[in-house]
């Protein structure tokens, strides 16, 4: 199935094919979406597309991605930059490199950036991030909304970063099932499902726009796990979601379970179904078309946009570092500089019938609606 194969189906016909009341989505409905055969995915995608158009519009917002550092204190069993992988060449951007990347985003009208890194909680790291947030705002005239994706931190650290000017935070739960979560993380005291939940709650308390997400198609994962993942995002009233297919990395412990994985095309289509299902369930949130989708299909991000995503994260990390930030294998755009990436994305998004929200922060309408209620 390709992006051009998603043909228009009117809303009433799509609802009939899916037998669903979009105003009252149940767990059984979600399970039905996840188990849909390939010949019915088109109806699901079209229904999600119509809901996206109605609630958030056909605009895609850029988040310039700065992969600040691949130094990590944790050993998540699926991650290519886990602390115990001694084959990774470690790096950390200096202040000028980060600020120059942010300037690129501002000058090219992105309006938002994401600072992502391996998980660290040491005071040197947290103070550097605080200084970077302040300097980015100073150097770009407060043009940019800043999203952080820096893992579990203390509430004090989250408050510090919020006070410095970070407005959004992405902390993926990876799996809402505590049992499956434990299969993805070592039992070493550094990895705790409970602490993950508490961190998400702290972010909400501090009035961040809160993002989370899951991996799709994991070893040991069942369709019911995925239903529970979607319900978790709704129950925690998440404002923005980044989720994509699990892609294995041969230098991780989880790689030994690769025989349990669905074929890549099936994992990709499962990702499309999850994006569409989430759009139908949480109509006004921001959903990212993740790079992992493109790793499994050459038009993966475009297809995710058609299926309900409205955020995309062009990589603006200096090119020389990108090959060292490989959370999974076959990651695209590691050899494309920021200018080329921008031009490529413009062409890709144009094929979806969406427009790019240049100079727009693209805040989560879900967040805004909750604040105003």
Tokens of 234: 């709704």
What digits encode the pLDDT tens for the residues 97-129?
999 999 999 999 999 999 999 999 999 999 999
Residue 238 domain-assigned (yes or no)? yes
What digits encode the pLDDT tens for the residues 307-352?
999 999 999 999 999 999 999 988 887 777 778 777 788 889 999 9
Q: Say what the pLDDT of residue 373 is.
A: 80
Q: Among candidates 45, 17, 39, which has minimal Cα distance to 302? A: 45
Q: Among candidates 31, 6, 1, which has minimal Cα distance to 226? A: 31
Domain that holds residue 239: 59-269+287-372
Residue 40 domain-assigned (yes or no)? no
Residue 240 domain-assigned (yes or no)? yes
Q: Among candidates 137, 58, 128, which has minimal Cα distance to 103? A: 137
Residue 52 domain-assigned (yes or no)? no
Q: Say what the pLDDT of residue 19 is.
A: 75
Residue 182 domain-assigned (yes or no)? yes
Give the C-alpha separation, 219 to 78, whole Å. 10
The answer to pTM > 0.75 is yes
Q: Say what the pLDDT of residue 106 is.
A: 97
Tokens of 355: 């427009």
Contact 310, 63 (CB under 8 A): no
Dihedral angle of Cα 8, 48, 29, 363, to the nearest 10 degrees: 180
Residue 94 domain-assigned (yes or no)? yes
Q: Exposure of 189 by Cβ count < 10 A (0-12 exposed, 13-18 middle, 19+ buried)?
A: exposed
Give the residue-averaged pLDDT of 288-304. 95
Give the C-alpha separation, 257 to 267, whole Å. 15
Q: Say what the pLDDT of residue 351 is.
A: 92
Give the C-alpha separation, 21 to 232, whole Å. 20
Q: Say what the pLDDT of residue 15 is.
A: 57
- pLDDT higher than 80, residue 4: no
In terms of pLDDT, which residue wins out, 240 or 16?
240
Tokens of 93: 């951007």
Average pLDDT, the chain: 93
Residue 226 domain-assigned (yes or no)? yes
Residue 1 domain-assigned (yes or no)? no
Tokens of 23: 């105003």
What digits encode the pLDDT tens for the residues 137-156?
999 999 999 999 999 999 99
- For strands 215-216 and 244-245, give the pairing: parallel
Total domain count, the chain: 1
First to last CA, the chain: 41
- pLDDT higher than 70, residue 65: yes
* Phi, psi at 251, each rounded to 5°: -100, 35
Read off the pLDDT band of 214 (50, 70, 90).
very high
Kindly report the CATH number assigned to the domain that includes residue 196.
3.20.20.70
Helix (H, G, I), strand (E, B) or coil at 315: strand
Cα atoms in the Cβ-side hemisphere of radius 13 Å centred on 121: 11
């Amino acid at each position: 199935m390709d992006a051009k194969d998603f043909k228009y189906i009117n809303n009433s016909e799509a609802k009939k094919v899916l037998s669903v009341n979009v105003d009252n989505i149940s767990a059984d409905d979600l399970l039905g979406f996840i188990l849909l055969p390939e010949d019915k995915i088109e109806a699901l995608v079209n229904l999600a597309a119509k809901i996206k158009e109605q609630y958030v519009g056909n605009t895609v917002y850029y988040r310039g991605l700065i992969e600040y550092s691949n130094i990590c204190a944790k050993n998540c069993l699926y991650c290519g930059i886990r602390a115990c992988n001694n084959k990774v060449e470690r790096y950390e951007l200096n202040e000028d490199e980060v600020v120059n990347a942010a300037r690129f985003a501002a000058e090219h009208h992105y309006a938002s950036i994401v600072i992502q890194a391996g998980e660290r909680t040491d005071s040197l790291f947290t103070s550097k991030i605080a200084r970077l947030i302040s300097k980015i705002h100073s150097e770009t005239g407060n043009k940019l909304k800043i999203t952080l994706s820096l893992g579990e931190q203390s509430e004090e650290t989250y408050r510090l970063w919020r006070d410095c000017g970070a407005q959004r935070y992405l902390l993926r739960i990876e799996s809402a099932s505590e049992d499956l979560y434990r299969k993805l993380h070592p039992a070493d005291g550094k990895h705790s499902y409970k602490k993950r939940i508490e961190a998400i709650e702290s972010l909400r308390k501090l009035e961040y726009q809160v993002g989370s997400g899951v991996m799709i198609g994991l070893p040991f994962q069942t369709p019911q796990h995925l239903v529970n993942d979607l319900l978790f995002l709704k129950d925690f009233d998440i404002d923005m979601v980044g989720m994509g297919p699990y892609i294995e990395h041969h230098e991780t412990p989880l790689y030994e379970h690769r025989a349990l994985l669905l074929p890549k095309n099936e994992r990709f289509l499962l990702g499309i179904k999850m994006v569409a299902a989430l759009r139908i369930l949480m109509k006004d949130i921001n959903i990212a078309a993740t790079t992992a989708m493109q790793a499994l299909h050459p038009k993966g991000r475009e297809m995710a946009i058609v299926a309900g995503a409205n955020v995309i994260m062009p990589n603006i990390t200096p090119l020389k570092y990108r090959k060292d930030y490989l959370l999974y294998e076959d990651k695209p755009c590691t050899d494309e500089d920021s200018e080329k990436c921008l031009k490529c994305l413009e062409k890709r998004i144009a094929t979806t019938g969406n427009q790019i929200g240049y100079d727009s922060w693209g805040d989560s309408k879900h967040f805004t609606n909750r604040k105003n209620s």
